Amino acid sequence: MGVSTTKTRKSIIGAGMIGATAFVSTAAFVPQAWLAVLLLTFCVGSLRLATGSANALPIDLAPPSEVGTLSSIQNFFGNLGGVSAPVVTGYLVNVSGSFTLALIAAGAMATFGACAYVFILGDLRPQLRNNSPESTPGPEVAQTAAKIDRRASM
């Protein structure tokens, strides 16, 4: 039968973000630059592990007609973080004189994100598809699909 969508998505997102926390926090304290770069590379890899499941959440949370809207809202707030991160990092480096505080702050944000996804996000239930006659494609869509199929088989 398999594992539920909720457990799968939450565990992948949580593992990726906790992995990112571990790598970025460790990178803050290593004395060798090459090791810090390697740990930050693993941090980015861990975040990419979580990205696919996080980007698929709107499909699970919104009705089909609203998936694009929810994805846009999710991307907007993600981009706000992407725009503000360099500003906050620059400020923390300017205040402390090193990247240690900035990397610890990044690890704290990743931990907060993991906790939010795993503990605050509720069950993911598939949204019902609209099967009303108004939402079914008309005969012109079927004719166009048949033309495409014929062209593809030539």
Which backbone phi and psi does 74 adopt, to 5 degrees? Answer: -60, -45
Q: Which two tokens stand for residue 85?
A: 């991160």
Residue whose C-alpha is closest to residue 13's, from 85, 128, 120: 120
Indicate the length of the chain as a whole number.
154
pLDDT digits (tens, 9 = 90+) for 87-136: 999 999 999 999 999 999 999 999 999 999 889 888 877 655 555 555 55
pLDDT digits (tens, 9 = 90+) for 68-87: 999 999 999 989 989 999 99
Q: What is the pTM of this model?
A: 0.74
Q: Would the pLDDT of 47 be above 70?
A: yes
105 and 88 Cβ atoms separated by less than 8 Å: yes
76 and 35 Cβ atoms separated by less than 8 Å: no
pLDDT digits (tens, 9 = 90+) for 21-31: 999 999 999 99
How far from the centroid of its chain's Cα atoms is residue 99's Cα? 25
**Residue 119 has what DSSP assignment?**
I
